């Protein structure tokens, strides 16, 4: 038995959903560059779940199903109102709320494909309403009901801010959702697959994935990037902060990747979007700081930005509070988690690796008097 720490480089399964080969990311064979430019989030969800791009009619039906299922049972917001909202992390709220959705769904434990696809739509549609509703409740306001005439991206911004977003805001946010939808066997997706490989239900799979995404080494990094930018404060302070951080062996959030060694293709697209949006809203401060940080990390550590780095500036420019950045990541990645859950169910084998034991050898029981 050879131990591979962190399963680095270990191929744990085959999958037809997304591929990362030579730093090229594709969903069902379509490059994320093409999808970011020509597609939209609902079309990508359909592609990830069904394997093909939808026809006009199929997309209309799918969008309507998402819109019809975006409402959230009152019990969920009643639960959220009972939480310590000013101190609890939104990812803990999201993890608990999705689990509660499962408690309230009479079909939660049905395992036929049709009911799993119906549950997938319910989870995907409701997760955005939960995140926006939580944010409003935390501000002391009531949740804004979803608007059936808006697409997923616009609806989230509408429910979050209580106003219809501009075309530019909607397009930027929709593209960010496309870019975060799936990413092969990342930690949270692998968590979901391990969970449902026991034939546990889809709500358990998504709930466990939310738990994994929460960590700062994974989806939690985007919020940490914003914390770092706020802590640095201005372009003049960047060099001093970064040099000190690197000297004390700190991990700079938003940099590095287990798979990409020549740069994360999503970061390049998000960087362009952050530049455009911050120029529009007239506050390019965080963008300019980010460019300087990227330059320093490349020069000093040969490290390149990952998807979490420029998404922080982009979400900030969209007026999203920083502790909602990872819930936004979860809203998008739910589409990927569900695709992998359905794929795992379709050709399942319990996922059960081994551990190389390095504890004490066999030894006799010790009576209390001998301890």
Contact (Cβ atoms closer than 8 angstroms) between residue 305 and residue 264: yes
Active site residue 89: no
- Quote the CA–CA distance of 165 and 21 in Å, as a whole number: 36
Nearer to ligand SDX, 136 or 218 (CB): 218
Binding of ligand SDX by 268 (CB under 6 A): no
DSSP characters for 32-47? Answer: HHHHHHH--HHHHHHH
Distance, in Å, from the CA atom of 133 to the CA atom of 72, rounded to the nearest integer, reads: 9
Strand partners, 27: 18, 30
Among the listed residues 300, 327, 328, 311, the one whose alpha carbon sits nearest the alpha carbon of residue 229? 311
Element (H, E) at 110: none
Q: Does 223 bind ligand SDX (CB under 6 A)?
A: no
Q: Which residues pair with 20 in a beta bridge?
A: 25
> What is the total count of residues that contact ligand SDX (CB under 6 A)?
21
Instruction: Determine, following the binding rule CB under 6 A, whether residue 251 of this chain makes contact with ligand SDX.
Output: yes
Least Å from the CB of residue 247 to ligand SDX: 11
Residue 257 binds ligand SDX, judged by CB under 6 A? yes
Residue 307 within binding range of ligand SDX, rule CB under 6 A: yes
Member of 308, 314, 330, 332 binding ligand SDX (CB under 6 A): 308
302-318 burial, b for 16+ CB within 10 Å, e for fewer? ebbbbbbbbbbbbbbbb
d(CA 259, CA 281): 34
Structure tokens at 286: 């965080």
Site for ligand SDX in 50-79 (CB under 6 A): none
- Nearest to ligand SDX by Cβ — which residue? 256
| Residue 44: φ, ψ to 5° | -70, -35
Residue with tokens 């608990």: 96
Alpha carbons 124 and 162: distance in angstroms, whole number: 21
- Report the site for ligand SDX in 173-202 (rule: CB under 6 A): 183, 186
Q: Whose Cβ is closer to ligand SDX: residue 146's or residue 254's? A: 254
- Please give the angle made by the CA atoms of 322, 323 and 329, to the nearest 5 degrees: 90
Structure tokens at 130: 């939960």
Beta carbon of residue 74, minimum distance to ligand SDX (angstroms, whole number) = 33
Residue 49 vs 62, nearer CB to ligand SDX: 49
The distance of closest approach from Cβ of residue 7 to ligand SDX in the complex, given in angstroms and rounded to an integer, is 11
Site for ligand SDX in 284-303 (CB under 6 A): 301, 303
Which residue from 136, 161, 218, 272 is in contact with ligand SDX, where contact means CB under 6 A?
Answer: 218
Active site residue 323: no
Pairwise CA distance, residues 179 & 273, whole Å: 12
With binding defined as CB under 6 A, does residue 254 bind ligand SDX? yes
Closer residue to ligand SDX in complex, CB, 174/308: 308
Choosing from 257, 264, 275, 340, which is the catalytic residue? 257
Q: Give the binding range for ligand SDX (CB under 6 A) out of 106-114, 194-202, 234-242, 250-258.
A: 250-258
Contact region with ligand SDX (CB under 6 A), list: 78-86, 145-153, 253-261, 347-355: 253-261
Residue ranges that bind ligand SDX, judged by CB under 6 A? 6, 183, 186, 217-219, 221, 251-259, 301, 303, 306-308
Residues assigned a catalytic role: 257, 308
């Amino acid at each position: 038995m050879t131990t591979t720490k962190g399963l680095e480089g270990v191929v744990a399964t085959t999958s037809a959903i997304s591929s990362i080969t030579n730093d090229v990311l594709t969903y069902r064979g379509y490059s994320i560059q093409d999808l970011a430019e020509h597609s939209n989030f609902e079309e990508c969800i359909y592609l990830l779940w069904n394997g093909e791009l939808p026809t006009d009619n199929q997309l209309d039906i799918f969008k309507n199903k998402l819109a019809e299922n975006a409402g959230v049972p009152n019990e969920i917001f009643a639960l959220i109102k009972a939480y310590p909202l000013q101190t609890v992390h939104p990812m803990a709220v999201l993890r608990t709320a999705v689990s509660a959705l499962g408690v309230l769904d009479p079909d939660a434990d049905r395992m036929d494909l049709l009911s799993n696809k119906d549950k997938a739509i319910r989870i995907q549609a409701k997760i955005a309403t939960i995140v926006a509703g939580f944010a409003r409740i935390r501000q002391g306001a009531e949740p804004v009901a979803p608007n059936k005439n808006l697409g997923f991206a616009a609806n989230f911004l509408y429910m979050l801010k209580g106003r219809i977003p501009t075309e530019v805001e909607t397009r930027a946010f929709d593209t960010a959702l496309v870019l975060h939808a799936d990413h092969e066997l990342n930690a949270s997706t692998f968590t979901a697959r391990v969970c449902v490989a026991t034939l546990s239900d889809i709500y358990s799979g998504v709930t466990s994935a939310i738990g994994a995404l929460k960590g700062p080494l994974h989806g939690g990094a985007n919020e940490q990037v914003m914390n770092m930018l706020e802590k640095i404060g201005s372009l003049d302070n960047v060099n001093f902060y970064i040099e000190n951080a690197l000297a004390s062996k700190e991990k700079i959030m938003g940099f590095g990747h287990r798979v990409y060694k020549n740069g994360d293709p999503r970061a390049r697209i998000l960087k362009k979007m952050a530049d455009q949006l911050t120029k529009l809203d007239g506050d390019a401060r965080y963008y300019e700081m980010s460019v300087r940080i990227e330059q320093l990390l490349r020069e000093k550590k040969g490290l390149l930005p990952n998807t979490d780095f420029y998404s922080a500036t982009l979400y900030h420019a969209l007026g999203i509070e920083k502790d909602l950045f990872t819930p936004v990541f979860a809203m998008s990645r739910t589409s990927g988690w569900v695709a992998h859950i359905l794929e795992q169910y379709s050709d399942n084998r319990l996922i059960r690796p081994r551990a190389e034991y390095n504890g004490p050898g066999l030894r006799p029981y010790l009576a209390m008097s001998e301890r």
